Amino acid sequence: MDHEYWMEQALSLADRAESKSEIPVGAIVVLDNEIIGQGYNAPISNVDPTAHAEIQAIRSACNRVGNYRLPGSRLYVTLEPCSMCAGAIVHARIAQLIYGAVEPKSGVVCSQHQFFSEAFLNHKVDIVGGVLAEKASEKLSGFFQYRRKQKNAQENGLIGSFFDFIINNIDSLLASLHCLVLKYGQIPPNYS
């Protein structure tokens, strides 16, 4: 079993998410060494808060095999799953979860919780973590660095545009203010 090979497939799906300005997470479901389902993060573009990569891949696999259960299958995902996705993994009866990077804020495999160790679960999932973790983590870090730069440039652009407007229109703004003073004898209260 070559976990790295399959994780590379999931990473290529993460690129598809990123190309749609979604957080770059990809997932595949493998059964008998064949990809039976695939997905990538798309909650924004699908207008669906459940459209995480894992959910998309599980839905795709279930549709392909014609069953809501996927016994004997393996799910490869580039990021440690959240609670919603962990629940779906159990309900789909996925045999093994293989993930890349940890998700310190909302991951429930090992970061914020150890969901799959809960005694109340009626299905046990084998876990393999850290497969191509560095590559997956770099992809996520690069995405968020780019988003921060974009946000900063936009904020700076708005402030810069505002000051450019003031500077380029100072004469007409002062003339308008002068007209208000002449008309009312002072600057009206809602303009001061």
d(CA 78, CA 95): 17
3-state helix, strand, coil in the chain (%, to 5): 50, 15, 35
Neighbours of 137 (CB within 10 A): 16
Show Cβ contacts of residue 87 under 8 Å, excluding neighbours closer than 6 positions.
115
Which two tokens mark 145?
A: 């660095």
Tokens of 110: 């090992």
Look up residue 73 and give its two tokens: 């299958």
What is the C-alpha separation between 23 and 39, in angstroms, rounded? 13
Q: Identify whether the C-beta of residue 146 lies closer than 8 Å to the C-beta of residue 25.
A: no
**Residue 185 DSSP class:** S
User: Catalytic amino acids?
Assistant: 54
